[in-house]
Amino acid sequence: MRIVLDAMGSDKYPDPEIQAAVNAVQQFGDDILLVGNEELLKPKLELLGGSAKVKIIHAPEVLEMTDKPARSARGKAQNSMAVGMDLLKSGEGDAFVTAGNTGGAMANGLFRLGRIRGVKRPALTGILPVQGGYCVVLDIGANADCKPEYLVQFAVMGSLYAEKIRNIKNPRVGLMSNGEEAGKGNELVKATYNLLQGSGVNFIGNVESKEVFGGHVDVVVMDGFTGNVFLKTSEAVAKFMTTVLKEKLTSGVRTTLGAALAKPAFDQLRQVMDPGEIGAVPLLGIDGLVFVGHGRSDAHALVNAIRAARSAVEANLVEAVTIGIQQQMEASPEEAP
């Protein structure tokens, strides 16, 4: 397996990426194609002892977090994302991993790889810790304005991801709304509800945030504006609660002693809430395996991102989504582009 790793993606690039490449070779034995400025990467890789399985692919330009995605994807044709995705396009790589600008990854993915045939809009996909496991959430920001048929395709793609990668049989799919009852929600939700009933996915109806975090669904779909607000609010609340809990547990002798006894449980909680344990999530609908991790990713998180990409390669995720979308189009020919 050949995993392409963007060496210029994380906030502290390229050190986490180089360390992750070396560690991933040791863990998985795969070839890692490290894409970035060779003059910067080569001496750092040599300091770590290097590896015959880590190959540097030169890319002189970098997409920074402040860059406008579409404009930079066109203007910086030799950026590390573009060069890396070209390796996928040519068949020299099996999956691409980056901790860089998410919008840049989406723009380069569309320009370099294109959409899977029949996909109307690719979706940014999130994995959210919930009671009893995790929930696949999409879209989380790629498409602020959506049509009902987009959300139906998100449901199909998210369901396939939950099944193939999360190993969930017949995943339960919910539609985010302001009420559980049919007929609740805005016009987009109401129209999507009717389409999802005949989409072929295991649609269980509308859900609110409490059902998502309660573990009642395996996949939840929504427009990208709602999804982005939902995800960022969830992350902010989790951080707030963790901060308050830490303050209260260290506010006195008794609570500090209690906190020491409960440390193993808190360590487990921290691990569950750490996005680095997931590593990276896919841009579903792009005609290639493109995985995006958090900008704060360290080497551990990037190795987990590589692990996630490997799982998608092994599961033939692109082929599965291609077949799923084709079946959905055949079932609903009036929605075909």
Assign residue 102 the CATH number of its domain. 3.40.718.10
CA atoms of 129 and 276, how far apart (whole Å): 12
Using DSSP's 3-state secondary structure scheme, residue 220 falls into strand
Q: Are residues 182 and 87 in the same domain?
A: no
Q: Are residues 244 and 144 in the same domain?
A: yes
Q: Are residues 156 and 236 in the same domain?
A: yes
Q: Are residues 153 and 243 in the same domain?
A: yes
CA atoms of 284 and 306, how far apart (whole Å): 17
* Domain membership flag for residue 158: yes
* Domain membership flag for residue 74: yes
Domain total in the chain: 2
pLDDT at 337: 46
pLDDT at 336: 45
CA atoms of 9 and 6, how far apart (whole Å): 6
Using DSSP's 3-state secondary structure scheme, residue 11 falls into coil
pLDDT at 272: 61
pLDDT at 62: 86
Q: What is the DSSP letter of 9?
A: -
Domain of 142, in residue numbers: 126-249
Q: What is the DSSP letter of 116?
A: P
Q: Are residues 142 and 114 in the same domain?
A: no
pLDDT at 248: 78
pLDDT at 2: 96
pLDDT at 267: 64
pLDDT at 18: 96
The model's pTM is: 0.88
- Long-range CB pairs of 331-336, under 8 A, 24+ apart, other chains included: 331/198, 331/199, 331/200, 332/149, 332/152, 332/195, 332/198, 332/199, 335/149, 335/152, 336/118
pLDDT at 144: 86
Q: Are residues 148 and 240 in the same domain?
A: yes
Q: Show the low-confidence residues of the chain (pLDDT under 70).
A: 263, 265-276, 333-337
